[in-house]
Amino acid sequence: MTQREGEIRLGALEELRPTVNFASHAFTEAGTTFGPRIIPDHQLFYLVSGRAKLVVGGEVRTLRPGEFALYGPDCPHAISILEDTVFIGIHFHVRHASPVPVHPAFSIVMTDEAELAASARGRYLLALDGGEELELPPFQTVPGLEPTLMRIVKEYMNEQPGYAMLLRALMTELLLLVVRHRLADRPQSAERGKIEPALQAIHREPEKHWTVAELAALCGYHAIYFSSLFRKCTGENPKQYLISQRIRKAKFHLLSGEKMEAIAERLGYASVHYFSRNFKEETGLTPTEFKQQ
């Protein structure tokens, strides 16, 4: 696939090897400015509270709590703090051989308003399976990012043994949260729309012993056609998908401290033994091993 002007390809999703170069959680007074400048790596600028104006690649946006900006090297940008603000800033390489942080401060280049106004951020494209590409826009809102962002900041500040590798893992998790949110926001395919009633039913009641016929009836199709369509859209047959959703919920309940007996009953299993067997078939671990890890 050729690269067109203004397109910045970040590589394949499964090849991400991010390196966190700097991470901070800071209070900044109204009137503070950063830039115009050009940084040597990527930055994710997330607003915890307050308001900030960002100019990135010719676009101007006022960020509010829960929103963030994403931009990279060779992209002039400027930040103006409009009121007392708390923000989280992460500098990182998307893919780098070493996980060890290299502070970007000495490679930041100051620029001017003319270059800022004339600049273009480009389209950041991430390759997915099947040759598909996903664009990561400059301004986004992704619920639930703040806990992972704070873990990155704490790990960066504390520098405990192995911190560089853990930073890489946490940054990978953060990028995947952003990617999954973008994927969920895309327009739904016509075929997936046909099985949506069944998907919603499974997500709503994973503990119920749904039959293929019941799920097919919710969508208005014959069971054989429905099963074929379901596998095409999800990569699993309805029974496998139901089990996957049960185990996904089981992981949450395990990490929340619930007892296995209660979880097994909650998710419709006749016994803890059957639940544990299902769990190991799906994850390769027993529930106890998963919780310990």
The residue ranking higher by pLDDT, 132 or 247, is: 247
**114-149 as b/e: b if 16+ CB within 10 A:** eebeebebbbbbbbeeeeeebebebbbebeebeebb
pLDDT for the residue 1: 34
Confidence of residue 4 (pLDDT cuts 50, 70, 90): very low
Intrachain domains 7-185 and 191-292 with the same fold:
no
Rounded to an integer, what distance in angstroms lies between the CA atom of residue 273 and that of residue 235?
Answer: 27
Domain boundaries of the chain, sorted by first residue = 7-185, 191-292
Is the predicted pLDDT of residue 134 greater than 90, yes or no? Answer: no
What is the Cα–Cα distance from 93 to 41, expressed in whole angstroms?
6
* pLDDT tens, position by position, 38-54: 999 999 999 999 999 99
Segment 80-90, tens digit of pLDDT: 999 999 999 99
- Across the chain, what does the average pLDDT equal? 89
Q: Which residues are 79's β-sheet partners?
A: 34, 54
Model pTM score: 0.65
- Domain 191-292 coded CATH 3.40.50.450: no
Per residue in 135-150, pLDDT (tens digit) is 898 999 988 899 999 9
Instruction: Give, in words, the CATH class of 7-185.
Output: mainly beta
Torsion-angle region of 11 (φ positive above 0: left; ψ -120 to 50: alpha; else: beta):
left
